[in-house]
Amino acid sequence: MDIEAIRADTPAVVRRAYMHNAGAALMPVPVVDAAKRHLDLEAEIGGYHAAAREHDRIEAVYDSVARLLNAHRDEVALVENATVAWQMAFYSLQFGPGDRILTAEAEYAANYVAYLQVTRRTGAVIDVVPSDATGALDVAALERMIDDRVKLIAITWIPTNGGLVNPAEAVGKVARAHGIPYLLDACQAVGQMPVDVEAVGCDMLSATGRKFLRGPRGTGFLYVRRPLLERLEPPMIDHFAAPWVAMDRYELRPDARRFENWENNYAARLGLGVAVDYALAIGLDAIRDRCRLLAGRLRAGLAGIPGAVVRDLGRDPSAIVSFTIEGREADAIVAGALAQDIVIGASKASSTRIDAERRHLPPVVRASPHYYNSDAEVDRLLDYLRAG
């Protein structure tokens, strides 16, 4: 990995130590340029003609995302964010009284409130799979919980509040063995590690552009495996998702674009495509290794700071480093860091309530280095934390 070239593509690194990539990463120059170029074109010839002129490039975004996921382009829907992607999949599924939705303790708030809404409406129930001794979803427990009332397994791969990497692939094996639809929230995973829907065995996967993928805000995508895709009726449709083919009839598109609608931010979408290509060109294996190396350096440094407690779960944590420091509020730590041009974030219990309540977690600081960060930036954060 040519770190110098990569850092040159990320000009803000000379001004700040940016480790808020689980929130919104810094976009590399080619991403910003692609989006700006399209906005300029829209300003010059109008949005419709700009989209027509850039048609091939816009279409190629589907190929890029498909390559990223090892999926087919027809299985990809491009939407506004990970939440919309997830909602489109989840709310397409049908539940009845007594049906069970299995999820994990690290589930993201947006997903969990949707379970609550649907279970209230339908009489279905949510069952939370317990975690194992490391804090990851317990696959043996999941297996024991399976019965013919389980209509969905839906988990978050990497939670919003820490480094845990849930065993998405092992969950996929269980889901496949029992023929249960499997919806995976990969929002914090894409862009920081390889994501292969065939290896994972998920039927639906949602993700965002602005986090570790380094794409523009307001971008996201949904993957839906073909056989399931054909059976899913989106909760809301328009005449793009489902062309109006006769006075009394619409026909759902055959591809995953049935989860989209007509109007789009093409500048952002083009930026997303470039971000995906950028990550693929560097290589997701190399990205994962460097992310873990930097996160490991940060965790090791935190171990030497009095009162600091690393809160990450799991055997081999990702590049999201969560911690608390005794006697110091997470928000104050984040604000103090910002004053020194060190950008990190915090995560509150309400984002991951099951996990946070089970562990009695206060708000945690969340530092998420990416491959474009340096050892020196990690050390700068540690120096700031050490100085109190």
Ligand X SMILES: Cc1ncc(COP(=O)(O)O)c(C=O)c1O
User: How crowded is residue 283: how many other Cβ atoms within 10 Å of its Cβ?
Assistant: 13
| Interface characters, 109-148, with ligand X (x: CB under 6 A) | -x--------------------------------------
Among 9, 99, 105, 185, binds ligand X (CB under 6 A): 185
| Nearest distance, CB of residue 388 and ligand X, angstroms | 29
- Are 6 and 286 a contacting pair, CB within 8 Å? no
- Does 81 interact with ligand X (rule: CB under 6 A)? yes
Task: Find tokens 């993700």 and name the residue.
Answer: 207
Among 18, 108, 323, 371, binds ligand X (CB under 6 A): 108
Axis crossing angle, helix 266-282 with helix 29-45, rounded to the nearest 10: 160
81 vs 322, which CB is nearer to ligand X?
81
- Does 159 interact with ligand X (rule: CB under 6 A)? yes
195 vs 308, which CB is nearer to ligand X?
195
| Nearest distance, CB of residue 106 and ligand X, angstroms | 8
Among 82, 150, 294, 313, binds ligand X (CB under 6 A): 82
217 vs 297, which CB is nearer to ligand X?
217
| Nearest distance, CB of residue 64 and ligand X, angstroms | 18
Q: What is the rounded CA–CA span in Å between residue 331 and residue 52?
A: 46
- Are 348 and 193 a contacting pair, CB within 8 Å? no
Among 76, 187, 279, 346, binds ligand X (CB under 6 A): 187
Q: What is the rounded CA–CA span in Å between residue 273 and residue 233?
A: 27
- Are 379 and 57 a contacting pair, CB within 8 Å? no
Q: Which region, judged by CB under 6 A, interacts with ligand X, from 56-64, 78-86, 175-183, 323-331?
A: 78-86
Best CA proximity match to 95, nearest among 183, 218, 185, 195: 183
82 vs 224, which CB is nearer to ligand X?
82
Best CA proximity match to 185, nearest among 107, 132, 114: 107
83 vs 373, which CB is nearer to ligand X?
83
Q: How many residues bind ligand X (CB under 6 A)?
A: 13
- Does 265 interact with ligand X (rule: CB under 6 A)? no
| Nearest distance, CB of residue 85 and ligand X, angstroms | 8
Q: Which two tokens stand for residue 224?
A: 């839906």
Q: Which two tokens stand for residue 65?
A: 């995302």
| Nearest distance, CB of residue 82 and ligand X, angstroms | 3
Among 87, 188, 265, 322, binds ligand X (CB under 6 A): 188
- Does 368 interact with ligand X (rule: CB under 6 A)? no
Task: Find tokens 């990450």 and name the residue.
Answer: 312
Q: What is the rounded CA–CA span in Å between residue 145 and residue 178?
A: 12
Q: Which region, judged by CB under 6 A, interacts with ligand X, from 56-64, 79-87, 141-149, 168-176?
A: 79-87
- Does 87 interact with ligand X (rule: CB under 6 A)? no
Give 49-92 as a 3 state SS string: HHHHHCHHHHHHHHHHHHHHHCCCHHHEEEECCHHHHHHHHHCC
347 vs 380, which CB is nearer to ligand X?
347
Q: Which region, judged by CB under 6 A, interacts with ligand X, from 122-130, 152-160, 330-338, 371-379?
A: 152-160
Q: What is the rounded CA–CA span in Å between residue 196 and residue 213?
A: 15
| Nearest distance, CB of residue 160 and ligand X, angstroms | 3
Where in 207-236 is the site for ligand X (CB under 6 A)?
Answer: 208, 220
- Are 132 and 162 a contacting pair, CB within 8 Å? no
Best CA proximity match to 268, nearest among 89, 65, 23, 58: 58
CA of residue 120 relative to chain centroid, distance:
27
Query: In sequence order, what are the residues at sequence separation of 6 or more whose Cβ sits closer than 8 angstroms to the Cβ of residue 231?
Result: none
244-246 and 249-250: which strand pairing?
A: antiparallel
Axis crossing angle, helix 375-387 with helix 284-303, rounded to the nearest 10: 20
Q: Which region, judged by CB under 6 A, interacts with ligand X, from 49-57, 155-163, 234-242, 276-284?
A: 155-163
| Nearest distance, CB of residue 159 and ligand X, angstroms | 6
| Nearest distance, CB of residue 158 and ligand X, angstroms | 7
Query: Rule CB under 6 A: which residues touch ligand X?
Result: 81-83, 108, 110, 156, 159-160, 185, 187-188, 208, 220
